[in-house]
A and B are shown apart, each in its own frame.
Chain A
């Protein structure tokens, strides 16, 4: 089953510059593929996505432009923080142009007090909504009564 959740209240602008900080970047000079390794942090606006390794994928490089970045595949334990919410998963794919992040592999999302877990989560940064699918379980803190 799936659940629709608000994620990251403030508007996220996906045309902001993307900043990637890592220990190492390796660019294969033949096919141009680039891999960031070593506590990689992708930052854009208020969104921070940290992972152990990020593979960068281009739009088709022959499309005339210098091969714009189309997707970033983060793997090795991903933590996403946007505004007040945080989400964790094994892998995440961030498509920059559409501003959508797909997190897979026992996703845990915390919003303030309550937490949700699922197999897969699709976050749309522009509308600030997250769609969780597959064995969604929520743990709602019903407020402390002591």
Chain B
């Protein structure tokens, strides 16, 4: 190493040695002290059960729409639907929603947590917090509802609570059906003991 006569040059000479060493040190920390890569830890895949998916067919967000001959549009939506293993015509669905638009202008929206659609019996059963909303201002809450696929009949299985222009209604059962086969006016009938509270 050359000998310099003044301090400044010596200082620079020392720097030329120390600084690269420090740089080397910094570089090595990049590799030497890095977290150990644990090869056994799996990469976080979505934990969907692959073989369950393979074993059964599943339709995601299925959509069933139909138009009856008297012009009523019926449509069913769901998050996912699975055919029943032993009955191919029975579909069990999750978060089933249905919409009926009648030519008379009445619109009925039904939503539920789940349900099944049976194409042989031409009907669908919605269960779990079923909510029915009609364009005539009625909101009906029940646990189980059977809906005909052609939209001509809705029938609840157990008691019903409803809110509408008339006020708060509680009833044993509710049926929404056509007045008679060829008319297009729907009748909302509460049966099995009705209690209505109307505040003027």
Contact = CB atoms under 8 A, between A and B. Distances in A.
Nearest to A97: B200
Nearest to B105: A30
A20 B198 contact: yes
Contact of A29 (B134, B191, B199): B134
A23 B198 contact: no
Interface residues of A, number: 28
B66 to A, nearest CB: 21
Question: Which DSSP category, helix, strand, loop or mixed, fits chain B's interface?
Answer: strand
Which interface class (under 10, 10 to 19, 20 to 34, 35 or more) fits B? 20 to 34
Contacts of A20: 194-196, 198
A67 B165 contact: yes
Interface stretch (B12-20, B121-129, B181-189): B181-189
- Identify which of B166, B179, B186, B197 gathers the most chain A CB atoms within 10 Å of its CB: B166
Given A67-B165, A69-B166, A29 B186 contact: yes
14 contacts: A15-B200, A17-B198, A19-B198, A20-B198, A21-B193, A21-B194, A22-B194, A23-B194, A24-B189, A25-B171, A25-B190, A30-B104, A32-B136, A66-B137
Interface of A: 14-15, 17-30, 32, 34, 36, 56, 58, 61, 66-69, 96-97
